[in-house]
A and B are shown apart, each in its own frame.
Chain A
Amino acid sequence: MVPLSHYLMFGAVLFFIGVIGVLTRRNAVIILMSIELMLNAVNITLISFGHFLHNVTGQIFAIFVIAVAAGEAAVGLAIIIEVFRGRKTLYVDEINIMRW
Chain B
Amino acid sequence: MLDLVWLIPGLPALAVLINGIFGKKYLKTKTHYLAVGSTGLSFVISCIIFWQVAFNHQTADLVLYEWIMAGALSANFGFLIDPLSAVMIITVSGVGFLIHIYSVGYMHGDGGYHRYFTYLNLFMVSMLILVLADNYLLMFVGWEGVGLCSYLLIGFWFHKKSASDAGVKAFLFNRVGDAGVLLAMFLMFVHFGTLDFHYIFSHTDLISTQTATIITILLLLGVTGKSAQIPLYPWLPDAMEGPTPVSALIHAATMVTAGVYMIARSNALYLMSPTAMTVVALVGAATALVAATIGLCQFDIKRVLAYSTVSQLGYMVMACGVGAFVAGIFHLMTHAFFKALLFMGSGSIIHALSGEQDMRKMGALRPHMPRTFWTFMAATLAIAGIFPFAGFFSKDEILWQAFSNEHGHWVFWAIGAFAAGLTAFYMFRLVFMTFFGKSRVDREVAKHLHESPSVMTIPLICLGILSIFGGLVGVPAALGGKNRIHSFLAPVLGGGHHEANVVSQGIAHASEAVHGTGAHAAAAAHHSLYLEWFMMALSVTIALIGIFVAYHMYIRNPSIPEKLAKKFNVLYKLIFNKYYVDEIYDFFIIRRTKQLATILWQWFDVPIVDGMVNGTSKFTVFQAKLSALFDVNTVDGAVNGTSVIVKNWAKNFKFFQTGLVQNYALVMLFAVFIIISFYLFF
Residues of A contacting B654 in the complex (Cβ-Cβ under 8 angstroms): 100
Task: State the Cβ distance, B649 to closest chain A Cβ, in Å.
Answer: 13
Instruction: Tell me whether A98 and B669 are in contact (CB under 8 A).
Output: no
Instruction: Tell me whether B658 and A92 are in contact (CB under 8 A).
Output: no
Instruction: Tell me whether A96 and B660 are in contact (CB under 8 A).
Output: yes
Distance in angstroms between the alpha carbons of A97 and B661 in the assembled complex? 11
Instruction: Tell me whether B660 and A92 are in contact (CB under 8 A).
Output: yes
Residues on B lying within 8 angstroms of A by beta carbon are: 654-655, 657-662, 665-666, 669
Q: Is A6 an interface residue (CB 8 A)?
A: no
Chain B residue at smallest Cβ distance from A25: B662
Task: State the Cβ distance, A72 to closest chain B Cβ, in Å.
Answer: 15
Instruction: Tell me whether B665 and A98 are in contact (CB under 8 A).
Output: no
Residues of B contacting A19 in the complex (Cβ-Cβ under 8 angstroms): 669
Q: Is A23 an interface residue (CB 8 A)?
A: yes
Residues of A contacting B660 in the complex (Cβ-Cβ under 8 angstroms): 92-93, 95-96, 99
With A23-B666, A23-B669 as known contacts, state yes or no: A92 contacts B655, CB within 8 Å. Answer: no
17 residue pairs bridging A and B, Cβ less than 8 Å apart:
A19-B669, A23-B662, A23-B665, A23-B666, A23-B669, A31-B662, A92-B662, A93-B660, A93-B662, A95-B660, A95-B661, A96-B660, A98-B657, A99-B658, A99-B659, A99-B660, A100-B655
Residues of B contacting A44 in the complex (Cβ-Cβ under 8 angstroms): none
Residues on A lying within 8 angstroms of B by beta carbon are: 19, 22-24, 31, 92-93, 95-100
Residues of B contacting A95 in the complex (Cβ-Cβ under 8 angstroms): 659-661
Distance in angstroms between the alpha carbons of A55 and B147 in the assembled complex? 123
Instruction: Tell me whether B657 and A100 are in contact (CB under 8 A).
Output: yes
Residues of A contacting B669 in the complex (Cβ-Cβ under 8 angstroms): 19, 23
Task: State the Cβ distance, B546 to closest chain A Cβ, in Å.
Answer: 124
Residues of B contacting A24 in the complex (Cβ-Cβ under 8 angstroms): 662
Distance in angstroms between the alpha carbons of A31 and B661 in the assembled complex? 11
Residues of A contacting B662 in the complex (Cβ-Cβ under 8 angstroms): 22-24, 31, 92-93
Residues of B contacting A97 in the complex (Cβ-Cβ under 8 angstroms): 659
Residues of A contacting B666 in the complex (Cβ-Cβ under 8 angstroms): 23
Distance in angstroms between the alpha carbons of A98 and B663 in the assembled complex? 12
Distance in angstroms between the alpha carbons of A100 and B657 in the assembled complex? 6
Chain B residue at smallest Cβ distance from A97: B659
Most chain B C-beta atoms within 10 Å of own C-beta, residue among A93, A96, A98, A100:
A100
Task: State the Cβ distance, B655 to closest chain A Cβ, in Å.
Answer: 7
Distance in angstroms between the alpha carbons of A99 and B659 in the assembled complex? 4
Instruction: Tell me whether A99 and B665 are in contact (CB under 8 A).
Output: no
With A93-B660, A99-B657 given, can you name 6 additional A-B contacts, CB distance below 8 Å? A23-B669, A92-B662, A95-B659, A96-B659, A100-B655, A100-B659
Distance in angstroms between the alpha carbons of A22 and B667 in the assembled complex? 12
Chain A residue at smallest Cβ distance from B656: A100
Residues of B contacting A99 in the complex (Cβ-Cβ under 8 angstroms): 657-660
Task: State the Cβ distance, B475 to closest chain A Cβ, in Å.
Answer: 128
Task: State the Cβ distance, B650 to closest chain A Cβ, in Å.
Answer: 8
Distance in angstroms between the alpha carbons of A24 and B661 in the assembled complex? 11
Report, nearest first, the 4 A-B pairs whose CB atoms are least far apart: A96-B659, A99-B659, A100-B654, A98-B659
Task: State the Cβ distance, B677 to closest chain A Cβ, in Å.
Answer: 16
Task: State the Cβ distance, B146 to closest chain A Cβ, in Å.
Answer: 97
Distance in angstroms between the alpha carbons of A95 and B658 in the assembled complex? 10
Task: State the Cβ distance, B658 to closest chain A Cβ, in Å.
Answer: 5
Residues of B contacting A93 in the complex (Cβ-Cβ under 8 angstroms): 660, 662
Residues of B contacting A22 in the complex (Cβ-Cβ under 8 angstroms): 662, 665
Distance in angstroms between the alpha carbons of A64 and B669 in the assembled complex? 24
Task: State the Cβ distance, B411 to closest chain A Cβ, in Å.
Answer: 120
Distance in angstroms between the alpha carbons of A24 and B666 in the assembled complex? 10
Task: State the Cβ distance, A26 to closest chain B Cβ, in Å.
Answer: 9
Distance in angstroms between the alpha carbons of A95 and B659 in the assembled complex? 7
Residues of A contacting B665 in the complex (Cβ-Cβ under 8 angstroms): 22-23
Residues of B contacting A96 in the complex (Cβ-Cβ under 8 angstroms): 658-660
Residues of A contacting B658 in the complex (Cβ-Cβ under 8 angstroms): 96, 99
Distance in angstroms between the alpha carbons of A92 and B661 in the assembled complex? 7
Distance in angstroms between the alpha carbons of A32 and B665 in the assembled complex? 13
Residues of A contacting B655 in the complex (Cβ-Cβ under 8 angstroms): 100
Chain A residue at smallest Cβ distance from B653: A100
Task: State the Cβ distance, B445 to closest chain A Cβ, in Å.
Answer: 112
Task: State the Cβ distance, A38 to closest chain B Cβ, in Å.
Answer: 11
Distance in angstroms between the alpha carbons of A22 and B665 in the assembled complex? 8
Distance in angstroms between the alpha carbons of A46 and B662 in the assembled complex? 27
Distance in angstroms between the alpha carbons of A56 and B658 in the assembled complex? 45
Distance in angstroms between the alpha carbons of A74 and B657 in the assembled complex? 28
Distance in angstroms between the alpha carbons of A100 and B660 in the assembled complex? 11
Task: State the Cβ distance, A31 to closest chain B Cβ, in Å.
Answer: 8
Task: State the Cβ distance, A91 to closest chain B Cβ, in Å.
Answer: 10
Distance in angstroms between the alpha carbons of A93 and B662 in the assembled complex? 8
Task: State the Cβ distance, B675 to closest chain A Cβ, in Å.
Answer: 15
Distance in angstroms between the alpha carbons of A62 and B669 in the assembled complex? 23
Chain B residue at smallest Cβ distance from A20: B669
Most chain A C-beta atoms within 10 Å of own C-beta, residue among B657, B659, B666, B669:
B659
Distance in angstroms between the alpha carbons of A92 and B663 in the assembled complex? 10
Distance in angstroms between the alpha carbons of A99 and B657 in the assembled complex? 5
Residues of A contacting B661 in the complex (Cβ-Cβ under 8 angstroms): 92, 95
Chain B residue at smallest Cβ distance from A98: B659
Task: State the Cβ distance, B524 to closest chain A Cβ, in Å.
Answer: 130
Distance in angstroms between the alpha carbons of A69 and B665 in the assembled complex? 19
Distance in angstroms between the alpha carbons of A19 and B668 in the assembled complex? 11
Task: State the Cβ distance, A3 to closest chain B Cβ, in Å.
Answer: 21
Chain B residue at smallest Cβ distance from A99: B659
Task: State the Cβ distance, B647 to closest chain A Cβ, in Å.
Answer: 12
Task: State the Cβ distance, B68 to closest chain A Cβ, in Å.
Answer: 88
Residues of B contacting A92 in the complex (Cβ-Cβ under 8 angstroms): 660-662
Distance in angstroms between the alpha carbons of A22 and B666 in the assembled complex? 9
Distance in angstroms between the alpha carbons of A97 and B662 in the assembled complex? 14
Task: State the Cβ distance, A7 to closest chain B Cβ, in Å.
Answer: 20
Distance in angstroms between the alpha carbons of A10 and B660 in the assembled complex? 30
Task: State the Cβ distance, A24 to closest chain B Cβ, in Å.
Answer: 8
Distance in angstroms between the alpha carbons of A93 and B660 in the assembled complex? 6
Chain A residue at smallest Cβ distance from B658: A99
Distance in angstroms between the alpha carbons of A23 and B673 in the assembled complex? 15
Task: State the Cβ distance, B651 to closest chain A Cβ, in Å.
Answer: 9
Distance in angstroms between the alpha carbons of A92 and B658 in the assembled complex? 12
Distance in angstroms between the alpha carbons of A79 and B583 in the assembled complex? 116
Task: State the Cβ distance, A81 to closest chain B Cβ, in Å.
Answer: 16
